[in-house]
Chain A
Amino acid sequence: MEDMNLLFCAVSAAALDICALVLIIASYRERSTGNKQWKKISADMELVEQGFTYHLGCDEILIGRHASADIRLPDISVSRYHAMLTVADGVWTITDIGSKSGVYVNGNLVKSKKLCENDVITLGNRKLTLRKTVNPKKERRKNK
């Protein structure tokens, strides 16, 4: 009887463990689904600056010199909190949040502007380009 008790306890505990594990694995599977979904929502864009690429992973992106900014541009010409990128319905918008040197899109000083692909954003001395995400793997495949 004692052995039976132990056995079934162990079995049910193991079943719970495996179930939790399966759910974690399923959650990881969903993560890739979520990423794909996000690409659709965010129009699959990224910011590029002279070889550096900044991934745009959420719908509000703070650009500035401050350490807490999502995209940090350590340049004295950039304000601590310079501009904010937001996305809605697959369209990215840049908004000036009280910067000193202003936000320029394709050379025009703007307060807030919707962005198109390959727009160049100038913050102080830094120039950033918004473009479709380039997937290195796909690139390689194309080259082959």
Chain B
Amino acid sequence: MIKNPFAYLFSCLFVLAAHGTMLINIFYNGKYDDIKDLIILAAAVLGLDISYYIIMLFFKQYTYTIDFMLLLILNMSVIFQSCFGGVSFSAKHYITCIAALTACRFGHMLTCNHNWIQQQKKYVWIGIGVLMIIILIFTGSRSMWINIGSFSIQPSEFMKPLLVLACATSITEQQKKHKVWKFDIVWENIILFGITAAVCLFQWWCRDLGSIPTFAAIYAAGFFLRICYPKAKFSNKTLIIAGSVVLVAAIVGIKIAPEYVKDRLFVDIWSDKDGNGYQQSQALIAIADGGWFGKGPGKGYLHNVFAHESDIVFSSISEEWGLLYAIMMTLVILLIAASPLINPPRSYYHGTMCTGICAAFTVQMALNIFGSCNMIPFTGVTIPFISMGGSSMVTSGFMAGMLVAAQSPVFRKPKKKKSKKPANSSARRRSAA
């Protein structure tokens, strides 16, 4: 905070201004029965803004922009979620947003020292295994939800940051090769492949097919950043050829797929708009109805449709706030994912981690937005930070924390902690001052 006081002051002010104008917009255009509802919402949003600014002062980081962006998008989502079909403060979403901010801090603390987190890789693997066992035991009857009282948790969400951590690697790791019958093998890569395959199979078994592309994308990013270090030549040409072969195989696969698979992939929602296509067709009608500038907060119709706050949330926002605003909202999330481009990570481990997170964010958004708009098959995936849902919010917050960690890293060898700690911490203090 102290390093760039003006930049941070302006950031604080403009985040407040962005939320303020949204609230003013609701005040003039929104649909509310009682002004009290709006005042509660405004107090909650602006209060969270200001208190988070104060809390942030206690954390010594090199960069804070991701925190600001996170705060911006989370409070935007609180406003969105509170407005569907009339203004009423969505306390549940507000609490999950605070949980996400907390998770962000945890994410930062856990991963800022890449040397340390790298040594914990075994626990990451174990964590994924434990999660799978938990799902097996507790969810029952092949579903993906654990119900505890009125709360329901989706444990598979928590596998995403764990898989990102498992995929992240340092160059040193990639050089630890073992010769097994003519082949140089990095054991970690084999284990990772096994884990990913297991996770995907497991998701298949849980009928949570929508998450598989996310896991696959995280793995693909990790895989790509690993095969850059074989000893033999692995030129771009080979990669392009391999990529196109995969693409052709996918197209051929779709062409010769059995009928029932095709039916799931290509649903004509308009001929079945009261049945299976109901959600999507209503979502598209809502976007068309909203136009560029929307009908006004709270004046939408889509809140009558199932999953309006999670699976088809993009359309709900489009309807009430306009397509322009909804697109800008996705751009803010993209900015979060794009922050490693502006402020590069300083270690390969953090670099691969950022890539994995970016893959997870963009793929989830793509699946949700394009799925609900009938460009690709519709799956029940959430938009990070926007969709209602505790597990997804906390996970996304945690992953944002990992991005913060990549930009505000701590370089310390954990083994030599005792001898080097004083000198290093004093160096850090000096730098912070």
The interface of chain A, by Cβ under 8 A from chain B, is 4-6, 8-20, 22-31, 33-34, 36-38, 40-41, 57-60, 62, 66-68, 80-81, 84, 86-90, 97-98
Q: A23-B69, A60-B347 are in contact. Are A34 and B62 (CB under 8 A)?
A: yes
B260 CB to closest chain A CB, in angstroms? 44
Are B62 and A90 in contact, CB atoms less than 8 angstroms apart?
no
Looking at chain B's contact residues, is the secondary structure mostly helix, strand, loop, or mixed? Answer: helix
Task: Give Cα distance in the complex from A34 to B325, angstroms.
Answer: 32
Instruction: Tell me if B90 is interfacial: C-beta within 8 Å of chain A.
Output: no
Are A84 and B175 in contact, CB atoms less than 8 angstroms apart?
yes
Task: Give Cα distance in the complex from A87 to B170, angstroms.
Answer: 13
Q: A8-B29, A89-B416 are in contact. Are A97 and B175 (CB under 8 A)?
A: yes
Are A68 and B17 in contact, CB atoms less than 8 angstroms apart?
no
Task: Give Cα distance in the complex from A22 to B25, angstroms.
Answer: 21
Task: Give Cα distance in the complex from A25 to B420, angstroms.
Answer: 36
Are B332 and A88 in contact, CB atoms less than 8 angstroms apart?
no
Interface extent on B, as a size class? Answer: 35 or more
Are A19 and B17 in contact, CB atoms less than 8 angstroms apart?
yes
Q: A12-B24, A22-B11, A29-B4 are in contact. Are A34 and B332 (CB under 8 A)?
A: no
Closest 8 CB pairs of A and B: A26-B7, A12-B21, A15-B21, A19-B18, A19-B14, A27-B65, A8-B25, A9-B293
Are A20 and B328 in contact, CB atoms less than 8 angstroms apart?
yes
Are B24 and A8 in contact, CB atoms less than 8 angstroms apart?
yes
Residues on B with C-beta less than 8 A from A18 are 14, 17-18
Residues on A with C-beta less than 8 A from B10 are 22, 25-26
Are B68 and A23 in contact, CB atoms less than 8 angstroms apart?
yes
Nearest chain A residue, comparing its CB with the CB of B334: A20
Residues on B with C-beta less than 8 A from A22 are 10-11, 14
Residues on B with C-beta less than 8 A from A68 are 228-229
Could you say which of B24, B328, B416 contacts A13, with CB atoms under 8 Å apart? B328
Could you say which of A28, A37, A60, A62 contacts B431, with CB atoms under 8 Å apart? A37
Interface string of B283-298 (1 = CB under 8 A from A): 0000000000110100
